[in-house]
Amino acid sequence: MLDKQQAWRDEPSPPGPSAVELAERRLVREIAERSLPAFDALYRGYHARLARFLDRVTLRTGVVDELINDTMLVVWNRAATYNGQCKVSTWVFAIAYRKALKALKGADEPIADEGAHTRASDEAGPEAQRGQRELRTALLRALDGLPADQRAVVDLTYFHGADYREIAQIVDCPVATVKTRMFHARRRLRVLLSGSLEDWL
């Protein structure tokens, strides 16, 4: 029979940072040393992800590029303050979320850009493209009906694969608050979608 000490040694150790995370941390260290190539690499790696996130949170496609630039300017100026206690993606998305909230405070009612929300993949056939457009349009219209804090939680969960702990760090609130926002968001989405995407939720 194994003693407790042996059993403890046989337990798997928690996984370390992934190769992608290690590469991103290296880029941030280089950015802190004012490396423009490192900044360019991180910027290109995050541009599309931030664009999708900021578009969904703000519902103002016209300001997305400006918000991305504002976010990445903070990354450039504050790279030396990144301490590795969270993922680089968590740190970057937290900055972007604060920029989005600031933009929303200074805006009137958000206006969704229908064209940006209805593009379908070119890889699908005409029928599949139409189905994708209809599904995406219904989903994004429903997301547009949520408050910004709930949209952020849904987007980070379903489109960026973040867990509740990471989301709590990004939006700067307790995990329990993230769970509450998700609960209310899913309940509201079910009403807005009238059961058509029940399996998705």
Residue 171: phi and psi, rounded to 5, are: -95, 0
- Predicted pLDDT at 189: 85
Domain boundaries, the chain: 19-118+130-193
Fold of 19-118+130-193: Rna Polymerase Sigma Factor; Chain: A (1.10.1740)
- Predicted pLDDT at 43: 96
- Predicted pLDDT at 126: 62
Q: Does pTM top 0.75 for this prediction?
A: no
Is the distance from CB of 198 to CB of 190 less than 8 angstroms?
yes
- Predicted pLDDT at 195: 53
* pLDDT tens, per residue, the chain with 201 residues: 445 455 444 555 556 789 999 999 999 999 999 999 999 999 999 999 999 999 999 988 889 999 999 999 999 999 999 999 999 999 999 999 999 999 988 764 443 333 334 333 444 556 655 655 666 677 777 888 899 999 999 999 888 889 999 999 999 999 999 999 999 998 888 887 765 554 445
Distance CA 181, CA 113 (A): 25
- Predicted pLDDT at 14: 55
- Predicted pLDDT at 138: 72
